[in-house]
């Protein structure tokens, strides 16, 4: 009996949180919970819950601040994009001009293809008929062509010497060189603006810095004033207030450069009048011979007359088509830059909105978790 009592006492030590009672007949009673251990478990669970709530509240507060910052970033980006779009080229006007130039280019190219085909069709017949008087006239013209080439080479050499400063430059040449220098400086100063990356404050800084560069030399100011007061330019423009980050300035520069280039050719001719007169005299003889050849060809039959007419009309038309193609490409480049800027703005806005909405979604998730735990 003593051994049985010791064994029973040993079994009662298995769970310190419970106590064992024995019935009168010696049968073990049900184990009872230890109040102290149960309280300890509840305290541990409460502490864990409190820690989890604190962590969720910190996450919620961090996400709330992040969502606020990202919302502000979206608003700032919208404002910057709106400012960029204000100073961007008027695409509707550019598009109308581009469509007109494209139509002109296509129409003139179609005319050129038709004339070149006609020229090929009558070439063999015309060349076969170009005998006798026409052949003799052509031989004289060939001699004049060689003389013209020689005289022109001599004249070009003098012009090259002028370029190198061997002779005094004309005022027109100085203006032309200054326009080209202004264009180079403008390209150097405006890469971000041309790419659509510059905001309003940066554009203002570009204009201020470029205006300072212009003011370093009087001729620069004179040329820029001439650029902004061309008949094609909007009224009331001045260097003191103009936005030099505007792409329209490049187009105005191109127009003035082309005009000065034409005037410079005339000035160069004046500067080398004696040498040019030699070239001019040969050209007059050439033109007279060409007229005689045309008359002889007109007498020789329809193909000769058509051939001569087309031979004179095709070269200038080719030049016109090339110029129109170049203009179309320039407008295409402007549209390309505008499209690139638009795509960049769209991408920037998509990324900003995605980041903001992602933060808001995570914030809502943290708030729901807290509410499920009874925290508002």
* pLDDT at position 231: 82
Query: 324 is in which domain, residue-wise?
Result: 85-359
Answer whether residue 16 is part of any domain. Answer: no
Residue with tokens 């709530």: 53
Query: How confident is the model over 175-187, as pLDDT tens digits?
Result: 888 989 998 898 8
* pLDDT at position 26: 55
Q: In the predicted model, what is the mean pLDDT of the chain? A: 79
pLDDT band at 355 (very low <50, low <70, confident <90, very high): very high
Query: How confident is the model over 100-116, as pLDDT tens digits?
Result: 888 888 999 999 999 88
Answer whether residue 107 is part of any domain. Answer: yes
Distances (CA, A) of 152 to 148, 157, 160, 282, 314: 6, 9, 12, 10, 23
Answer whether residue 207 is part of any domain. Answer: yes
d(CA 223, CA 160): 24
Query: How confident is the model over 55-101, as pLDDT tens digits?
Result: 888 988 899 999 899 999 999 999 888 888 877 777 777 788 888 88
Residues in the chain: 376
Query: How confident is the model over 117-170, as pLDDT tens digits?
Result: 888 888 777 766 655 567 777 788 888 888 888 877 776 666 555 544 444 567
Q: Determine the average pLDDT of the residues in 3-30.
A: 48
Query: How confident is the model over 232-248, as pLDDT tens digits?
Result: 888 888 888 888 888 88
> What tokens were used for 161?
């010497």
Q: Is 36 exposed, middle or buried (0-12, 13-18, 19+ CB in 10 A)?
A: exposed
Answer whether residue 76 is part of any domain. Answer: no
Listing DSSP states for 103-142 in one string gives HHHHHHHHHHHHHHHHHHHHHHHHHHH--THHHHHHHHHH
> How many angstroms separate the first and last alpha carbons of the chain?
64
d(CA 108, CA 324): 9
Answer whether residue 10 is part of any domain. Answer: no
Distances (CA, A) of 160 to 150, 167, 254: 15, 10, 23
Residue with tokens 């769970």: 15
Answer whether residue 298 is part of any domain. Answer: yes
- Using DSSP, how many helices (H) and how many strands (E) does the chain show? 11, 0
pLDDT band at 361 (very low <50, low <70, confident <90, very high): very high
Residue 30 has pLDDT above 70, yes or no: no
Residue 199 has pLDDT above 90, yes or no: no
pLDDT band at 289 (very low <50, low <70, confident <90, very high): confident
Higher pLDDT, 10 or 92: 92
* pLDDT at position 68: 92
Nearest CA among 311, 316, 313 for reference residue 127 = 311
* pLDDT at position 36: 80
Q: Tell me if 216 sits within 8 A of 210, measured CB to CB.
A: no
Answer whether residue 306 is part of any domain. Answer: yes
Higher pLDDT, 324 or 46: 324
Nearest CA among 113, 353, 289, 83 for reference residue 202 = 83
Tell me how many domains the chain contains. 1
Is the pTM higher than 0.75?
no
Burial call 316-353: b when 16+ CB within 10 Å, e when fewer? ebeebbeebeebbeebeebeebbeebbeebeeeeeebe
> What tokens were used for 257?
């450069």
Residue 338 has pLDDT above 50, yes or no: yes
Higher pLDDT, 33 or 20: 33
* pLDDT at position 164: 46
Answer whether residue 11 is part of any domain. Answer: no
pLDDT band at 171 (very low <50, low <70, confident <90, very high): confident
């Amino acid at each position: 009996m003593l051994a049985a009592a010791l064994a029973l006492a040993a079994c009662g030590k298995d769970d310190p949180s419970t106590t064992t009672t024995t019935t009168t007949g010696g049968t073990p009673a049900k184990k009872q919970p230890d109040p102290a251990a149960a309280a300890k478990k509840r305290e541990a669970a409460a502490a864990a819950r409190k820690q989890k709530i604190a962590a969720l509240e910190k996450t919620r507060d961090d996400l709330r601040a992040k969502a606020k910052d990202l919302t502000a970033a979206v608003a700032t980006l919208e404002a910057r994009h709106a400012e960029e779009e204000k100073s961007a080229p008027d695409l509707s006007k550019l598009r109308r001009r581009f469509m007109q130039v494209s139509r002109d280019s296509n129409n003139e190219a179609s005319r050129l293809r038709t004339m070149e085909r006609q020229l090929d069709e009558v070439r063999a017949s015309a060349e076969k008929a170009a005998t006798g008087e026409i052949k003799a006239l052509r031989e004289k013209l060939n001699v004049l062509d060689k003389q013209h080439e020689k005289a022109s080479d001599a004249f070009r050499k003098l012009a090259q010497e002028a370029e190198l400063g061997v002779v005094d430059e004309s005022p027109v040449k100085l203006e032309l060189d200054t326009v080209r220098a202004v264009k180079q400086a403008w390209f150097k100063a405006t890469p971000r603006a041309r790419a659509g990356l510059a905001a309003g404050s940066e554009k203002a800084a570009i204009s201020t810095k470029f205006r300072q560069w212009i003011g370093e030399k009087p001729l620069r100011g004179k040329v820029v004033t001439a650029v902004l007061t061309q008949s094609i330019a909007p009224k009331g423009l001045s260097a003191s207030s103009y936005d030099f980050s505007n792409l329209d300035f490049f187009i105005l520069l191109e127009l003035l450069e082309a005009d000065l280039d034409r005037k410079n050719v005339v000035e160069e001719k004046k500067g080398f009048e004696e040498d040019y007169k030699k070239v001019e005299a040969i050209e007059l003889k050439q033109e007279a011979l060409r007229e005689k050849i045309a008359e002889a060809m007109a007498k020789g039959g329809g193909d000769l007359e058509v051939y001569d007419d087309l031979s004179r009309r095709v070269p200038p038309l080719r030049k016109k088509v090339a110029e129109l193609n170049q203009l179309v490409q320039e407008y295409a480049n402007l549209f390309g830059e505008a499209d690139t800027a638009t795509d960049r703005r769209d991408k920037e806005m998509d990324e900003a909105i995605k980041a903001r909405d992602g933060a808001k979604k995570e914030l809502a998730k943290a708030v729901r978790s807290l509410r499920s735990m009874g925290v508002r």
